Structures are given as structure tokens and as C-alpha cells.
Amino acid sequence: MSRKLLEVKSVVKIFHIGGRFLGTKLKAVNNVSFDIDSEKPEILTFAGETGSGKTTLARMILGLEQPTSGEITYKGKNVSHIQKREELLEYMKEVQPIFQNPFETFNPLRKVDSYLFETAGNYNLAKTKGEKAKLVEEALKSVGLTLNEVQGRYPNELSGGQLQRTSVARALITRPSLLIADEPVSMVDASLRMSIVNLFSDLKEEYNVTVLYITHDLATAYYISDRIAIMLRGDVVEFGNIDKVMLSPLHPYTQILLKSVPQPDPEGTWKEDIKLSSLEVKEFSRLGCKFYERCPSAMKICEEVEPLSVFRDGREVKCHLYSEEFKKEEETLPGSF
């Protein structure tokens, strides 16, 4: 059996905006590759501004979108080739999503506990009502809730934090190996954010669950992640160990992002999310570096030549400043050391 839990190999996703033939081609995800070891649970963050491609990537891993090219495999099986009902059910059991807005995840007219019992029944994990209740109780306990607190309640009778915890509990009922959490704290009060992200750390430690954390909130990402990928207009521009990337960023975009990150205050609460400029189609369609217009270190080559990802100082970085060609040019400049 493959030691890799998840392998994403050269994945590209192209959307056609305004029609397949006359519209604009938008490369929402550009040649992204990474893998997750099955024996080393971790919290891997994909961070970037709106339109960076992180949610599209998450949707492809969940099988909700097909890659235009490249391959996503889970335990050695190509996710796009999963067609048989049993295989699909098994995949959905092991790879569970947690969505952004818990108030949209649950129907306001349906009692919250019915979702939990339904999940326990859907995957043939329990037959009797008593067995289902046991599974539901266990899952709720792992997120710090009890069945009494949610039983018979409608979504509006729970706080945002309680509802998001219930949504995590629902995902945990199937005992997944991988949670894909897309902006799971952005709709939760700032004071409750840390309790939800701490929950992910606990799940990793106690239940060996790997969490793919999709966010634009670098403060929470730094607090819980083992590795981080910084995305910009479909590209992973920097990827590696969280301390390496956050404490000594190499890519000019990561450096600028980090300047906008609020610092955690001593009480453990967090200030506003970082605000970044809106998506520009021009950046998506640029042949060279997508950060060219905004980069303080931009060079002539950056305008038309796409940089390659290179390995520098313990992380991958996609920038001409770190390419071999640039180093050679620098070495030959008169007066350079």
C-alpha cells in the first residue's frame, strides 16, 4: 500500500469565463504538486487572498471538480477514477469536508442532531439507534460538546462556535484520515476562532487526523500549521515548514502578506483579517510572474518568463530571484561579490 495519504501531481484547473470558445481562459490552479505522508498526520495550510486557487484545489481533492490536467491520488488511487458507489462511499468516509459557514451547512428548519444520526446511518457505521447515539456522543465529545447540548435544537439555537464544532463532529463520525477545512473560522466570532483551530491540533494529536486548512488568515495558520503553501493566482509561490516560511519568507509576495498579518494579542484574541487587493484578470493571464505588477523586486525577465519552483533554504519558492539564471547574472555583474 502507498505510504502517501494524498498525492497531488502537476494539477491544473482551467475555467472558461464567458464561454468555452469566445471567453477568457482562467488558470485557477497552475501546476500544483505536493503530498501528505500517511504515517505523519499534520496540519497543512493553503493560504492566499481571494482568487488564489486554494478553494478550487480543495474542491478537486474532494472530487467536486475535475482537474483539467494532472492527477490527485488518495492512498494510491486516482480520485477522478472513483466511480463505483462503494469506492465513492469509502472515499467520502475517509476524506471529510468542513465548510466555511456553519449556518449554511445546516438547514435552518432541521434539527442539528438529525444530521449527526444520518451520517452515522449513511456509512453503515451503526445499525441500531443505540449504536448511532454512541458514535454521535463520541464525536461530539471530541469537539467539546455533549449530545444534550445539541439534541432537539435548531441551528439558530446554537452559537456560531457550537455550530461549527457540531459540523466538525459530523465530519468525525466517519473516522476520517483527512479533513478539508475551507475557511472554517472566517464566519465565527474572533473570540471563538482559537478554540476551533485548537480543536484541529487536538484532532491531529489524538486521532491522527491530517487537516488541510484553507485560509486567508495567516495568524491562525501560523499558530497551528506544520507546513504552509502560499498561493497567488493559481500558483504555489512558497511552500515549506511553517517556521521557515513565516519567520524568514523568501518570496516577495509572502513578505508583503506577512507585513499585513495582525499580531496575536496577549489575551489570545485576534484582530481583523488581512485585507488584500481584489482579483485582477490581468494577473491571471500574465505569461510571466503573476506578481509582476505588484512586486517591489520585479525585473525585466519577470514580465514574460514564468519562474520555476526551486528548492531554497528548506522550502520551495517560485521566483526568479532564486533561480540559477539569476544567480549566474548576479555573479557576473561588475562589482558583485
Contact (CB, 8 A) for 329 and 275: no
Q: How far is the CB of 284 from ligand SF4 (least distance, A)?
A: 14
Q: How far is the CB of 53 from ligand SF4 (least distance, A)?
A: 16
The single-letter DSSP state of residue 321 is G
Sole window of 93-101, 128-136, 202-210, 292-300 interacting with ligand SF4 (rule: CB under 6 A): 292-300
The angle formed by the CA atoms of residues 324, 250 and 297, to the nearest 5 degrees, is 75
Of the pair 54, 233, the CB lying nearest ligand SF4 is at: 233
Sole window of 26-34, 50-58, 62-70, 295-303 interacting with ligand SF4 (rule: CB under 6 A): 295-303
Q: Does 252 bind ligand SF4 (CB under 6 A)?
A: yes
For residue 261, the surrounding DSSP H or E stretch is: none
Of the pair 51, 307, the CB lying nearest ligand SF4 is at: 307
Q: How far is the CB of 320 from ligand SF4 (least distance, A)?
A: 4
Sole window of 5-13, 19-27, 63-71, 284-292 interacting with ligand SF4 (rule: CB under 6 A): 284-292
- Tell me the C-alpha distance between 268 and 253, whole Å: 27
For residue 331, the surrounding DSSP H or E stretch is: helix 324-332
- Tell me the C-alpha distance between 206 and 201, whole Å: 9
Q: Per-residue string for binding with ligand SF4, 195-224, x by CB under 6 A?
A: ------------------------------
Q: How far is CA 321 from CA 287, 295, 300, in A?
A: 17, 12, 12
Of the pair 92, 298, the CB lying nearest ligand SF4 is at: 298
Of the pair 239, 291, the CB lying nearest ligand SF4 is at: 291
Please state whether 236 falls in left (phi above 0), alpha (psi between -120 and 50) or beta.
Answer: beta
- Strands 210-215 and 43-47 come out as parallel
Helix (H, G, I), strand (E, B) or coil at 54: helix
Sole window of 97-105, 176-184, 202-210, 315-323 interacting with ligand SF4 (rule: CB under 6 A): 315-323
Q: Does 320 bind ligand SF4 (CB under 6 A)?
A: yes
Q: Does 321 bind ligand SF4 (CB under 6 A)?
A: yes
Task: Name residue, grid cell 445539541.
Answer: 150
The only residue of 302, 309, 315, 316 in contact with ligand SF4, by rule CB under 6 A: 302
- For the CA atoms of the chain, what is the radius of gyration? 21
The only residue of 63, 151, 298, 312 in contact with ligand SF4, by rule CB under 6 A: 298
Q: Does 289 bind ligand SF4 (CB under 6 A)?
A: yes
Q: How far is the CB of 193 from ligand SF4 (least distance, A)?
A: 30
Task: Name residue, grid cell 513565516.
Answer: 246
The only residue of 6, 72, 180, 319 in contact with ligand SF4, by rule CB under 6 A: 319
Q: Does 291 bind ligand SF4 (CB under 6 A)?
A: yes
Using CB atoms within 10 A of its CB, is residue 305 exposed (0-12), middle (13-18) or buried (19+)? Answer: middle
- Strands 178-182 and 95-98 come out as parallel
Q: Residue 181: which of 95, 302, 286 has the closest Cα?
A: 95
Sole window of 102-110, 268-276, 299-307, 329-337 interacting with ligand SF4 (rule: CB under 6 A): 299-307
Contact (CB, 8 A) for 118 and 80: no
Q: Does 299 bind ligand SF4 (CB under 6 A)?
A: yes
Which spans of this chain sit near ligand SF4 (rule: CB under 6 A)? 251-252, 289, 291-292, 295, 297-299, 302, 307, 319-321
